[in-house]
């Protein structure tokens, strides 16, 4: 199996321009997991390989305890999916099975040759009884001795004319292999999309932790300002209580985001089929993953040309057509060649080995089968029509997927620009609100509202960028699929 390699990512017939839009650090994890990072030389993915035996499972609690957390990039996540994902491995094994089935069908192109041999020793009970009775009565009787026989035969058979049955079986097996190869491409594209979305979800969870942690720090700073004003006699206890409530709410949001971060990381780990003791975090910074420079119409045409689902429906139609031919051949003449050669020798009979042969042509014609073949032909014709209708349905679905992803891509790109402007404005508004409160001309309500708006603006910008990346990944999947190499 090692000589067949299935890649997750394929090139797209478009031009990508990487953007410099970046948010936050390359990774943000909870403080409880920072001490579990892998060693600095852990950039290799070897320690993330799962158990080679899929039938084994942990039986001790220490075997499922998280021992280390390793940051990985999106590219590394896709590589791990290619190597570890069980669903993709099943697809590859299915291709190998179909390839063996094709070899089985092609065996009908050659004759069947067989050898058989038999060595036996026999002595009849009736002969022994006659000899025993003759000896008792005094009548001389010739005693029958035991004999040892050897026989051997060689047989050859070949179907000279099958009325299209042999070629139909081979062609159907070829189309089934093609169907399964295309299914591996479809699986690869689907898995790459799922991994990319899970990775972007993890990035969003990491950024949400960072944003909520910053919100906690802002709330603590505002609380200190309120307490200082209260101590100086220019603030009120009411202001302090409001900021304490705001801090408690921010801490609660931080706790919830850390929990969501862990859940999201474990979901991606399960998708990548990682070892039970390993956890991962996102190493890539949050940025636009690229720009799509094809028009909507060009994208639709690319999808029709590249998507394996359409070719799968054509392959399924061809399979049904070969099954129709096979059903028709069952009530038509079949001609085969039969030849045999045999040897016979009886030991101690003073006669040498004798041989013989036979050669003939056999013809079979099933004149009446109760209509079974006709019924199978009708089923195959119906399956052909079903495949044609599914082709049309799949074509319409592909166009819808491209249009949906393309529209989401454009709207999210616009949202990124809007959210960036809103974030800068929220930062400036918080600075002004805090200065006004410290000067005694603003209220704590203005500060709390500004902090809330800043947190929301940061979250909106992260969400807009990652939604754009999700839409781009969906558009790539809708248009093209990985190459089978």
Model confidence over 120-130: pLDDT tens digits? 887 777 766 67
What pLDDT was estimated at residue 127? 66
Closest CA to 204 of 436, 472, 404, 461: 461
pLDDT tens, position by position, 211-224: 899 889 888 988 88
In DSSP terms, which residues pair with 69 in a beta bridge?
A: 37, 279
Sign of CA dihedral 365, 371, 372, 375: positive
What is the phi/psi pair of residue 43, to 5°? -65, -20
What pLDDT was estimated at residue 145? 65
What pLDDT was estimated at residue 99? 95
Average pLDDT of the segment spanning 106-129: 84
What is the phi/psi pair of residue 420, to 5°? -65, -45
Please tell me the distance from the alpha carbon of residue 239 to that of residue 228, in angstroms, as a whole number: 11
Average pLDDT of the segment spanning 225-233: 83
* Residue 307 resides in a domain: yes
Helices (H), 330-371: none
Are the C-beta atoms of residues 423 and 457 closer than 8 Å to each other?
Answer: yes
* Residue 152 resides in a domain: no
CB-facing half-sphere around the CA of 322: CA atoms within 13 A: 19
Q: Number of structural domains, the chain?
A: 1
Report in angstroms the alpha-carbon separations of 420 from 361, 399, 470. 84, 32, 18
pLDDT tens, position by position, 440-466: 777 777 888 888 888 888 888 988 999
What pLDDT was estimated at residue 107? 94
pLDDT tens, position by position, 128-185: 667 666 666 766 655 556 778 888 999 999 999 998 999 999 999 999 999 999 999 9
What token pair was written down for 360?
């003939």
What pLDDT was estimated at residue 312? 93
CATH number at residue 410: 1.20.1600.10
Residue 368 — very low, low, confident or very high, per pLDDT cuts 50/70/90? Answer: confident
Whole-structure pTM over 0.75, yes or no? no
What token pair was written down for 398?
């592909």
Please say if the pLDDT value at position 19 is more than 50. no
What token pair was written down for 140?
């001389």
User: Which residues neighbour 416 within 8 Å (Cβ) at sequence distance 6 or greater?
Assistant: 21, 288, 461, 464, 465, 468
* Residue 348 resides in a domain: no
Please say if the pLDDT value at position 45 is more than 80. no
Query: How many other CB atoms are found less than 10 A from the CB of residue 8?
Result: 24
Pairing of strands 147-161, 354-364: unpaired
Please say if the pLDDT value at position 401 is more than 70. yes
pLDDT tens, position by position, 192-201: 999 999 999 9
Report in angstroms the alpha-carbon separations of 474 from 162, 254, 328, 396, 400. 48, 30, 44, 16, 12
* Residue 474 resides in a domain: yes
Pairing of strands 354-364, 334-346: antiparallel
Are the C-beta atoms of residues 465 and 23 closer than 8 Å to each other?
Answer: yes
Pairing of strands 278-282, 68-72: parallel
What token pair was written down for 36?
């579990």
Closest CA to 271 of 90, 28, 86: 86
Higher-pLDDT residue of 73, 28: 73
Please tell me the distance from the alpha carbon of residue 390 to that of residue 107, in angstroms, as a whole number: 33
What pLDDT was estimated at residue 370? 86
Report in angstroms the alpha-carbon separations of 354 from 53, 156, 341. 58, 20, 11
Please tell me the distance from the alpha carbon of residue 468 to that of residue 480, in angstroms, as a whole number: 18
User: Which residues neighbour 63 within 8 Å (Cβ) at sequence distance 6 or greater?
Assistant: 276, 277
* Residue 430 resides in a domain: yes
State the DSSP code for 6: B
pLDDT tens, position by position, 62-88: 767 777 788 889 999 998 888 888 888
User: Which residues neighbour 170 within 8 Å (Cβ) at sequence distance 6 or greater?
Assistant: 102, 105, 106, 108, 109
Closest CA to 105 of 162, 156, 184, 154: 162
Please say if the pLDDT value at position 21 is more than 50. no
* Residue 176 resides in a domain: yes
* Residue 26 resides in a domain: yes
Residue 105 — very low, low, confident or very high, per pLDDT cuts 50/70/90? Answer: very high
Query: How many other CB atoms are found less than 10 A from the CB of residue 301?
Result: 14
* Residue 354 resides in a domain: no
> Residue 39's domain spans which residues?
22-54+64-110+164-331+372-479
């Amino acid at each position: 199996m090692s000589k067949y390699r299935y890649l997750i990512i394929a090139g797209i017939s478009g031009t990508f321009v990487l953007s410099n839009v970046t948010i936050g650090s390359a990774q943000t994890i909870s403080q409880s997991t920072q001490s579990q990072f892998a060693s600095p030389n852990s950039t290799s993915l070897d320690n993330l390989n799962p158990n080679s035996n899929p039938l084994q499972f942990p039986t001790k609690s220490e075997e499922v305890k998280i021992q280390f957390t390793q940051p990985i990039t999106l590219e590394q996540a896709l590589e791990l999916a290619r190597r570890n994902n069980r669903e993709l491995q099943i697809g590859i094994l299915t291709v190998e099975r179909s390839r063996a089935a094709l070899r089985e069908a092609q065996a009908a192109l050659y004759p069947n040759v067989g050898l058989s041999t038999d060595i036996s020793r026999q002595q009849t009970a009736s002969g022994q009884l006659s000899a025993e009775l003759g000896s008792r009565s005094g009548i001389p009787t010739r005693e029958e001795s035991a004999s040892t026989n050897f026989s051997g035969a060689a047989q050859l058979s070949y179907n000279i004319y099958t009325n299209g049955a042999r070629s139909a079986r081979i062609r159907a097996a070829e189309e089934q292999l093609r169907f399964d190869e295309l299914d591996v491409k479809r699986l690869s594209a689907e898995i790459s999309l799922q991994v990319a979305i899970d990775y972007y979800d993890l990035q969003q969870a990491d950024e949400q932790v960072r944003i909520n942690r910053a919100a906690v720090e802002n709330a603590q700073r505002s609380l200190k300002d309120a307490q200082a004003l209260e101590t100086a006699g220019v603030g009120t206890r009411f202001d302090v209580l409001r900021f304490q409530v705001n801090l408690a709410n921010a801490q609660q949001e931080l706790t919830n985001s850390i929990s969501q971060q862990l859940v999201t990381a474990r979901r991606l780990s399960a998708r990548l089929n990682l070892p039970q003791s390993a956890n991962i975090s996102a190493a890539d910074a949050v940025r636009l993953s690229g720009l799509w420079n094809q028009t909507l119409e060009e994208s639709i045409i690319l999808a029709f040309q590249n998507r394996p689902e359409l070719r799968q429906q054509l392959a399924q139609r061809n399979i049904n057509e070969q099954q129709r031919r096979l059903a028709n051949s069952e009530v038509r003449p079949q001609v085969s060649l039969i030849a045999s050669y045999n040897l016979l020798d009886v030991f101690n009979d003073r006669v040498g080995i004798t041989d013989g042969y036979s050669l003939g042509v056999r013809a079979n014609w099933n004149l009446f089968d109760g209509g079974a073949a006709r019924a199978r032909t009708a089923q195959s014709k119906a399956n052909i029509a079903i495949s044609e209708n599914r082709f049309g349905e799949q074509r319409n679905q592909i166009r819808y997927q491209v249009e949906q992803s393309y529209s989401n891509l454009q709207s999210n790109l616009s949202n990124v620009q809007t959210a960036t402007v809103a974030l800068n404005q929220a930062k400036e508004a918080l600075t002004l609100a805090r200065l006004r409160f410290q000067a005694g001309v603003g209220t704590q309500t203005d500060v709390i509202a500004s902090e809330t708006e800043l947190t929301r603006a940061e979250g909106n910008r992260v969400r807009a960028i990652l939604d754009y990346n999700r839409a781009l990944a969906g558009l790539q999947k809708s248009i093209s699929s990985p190459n089978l190499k």
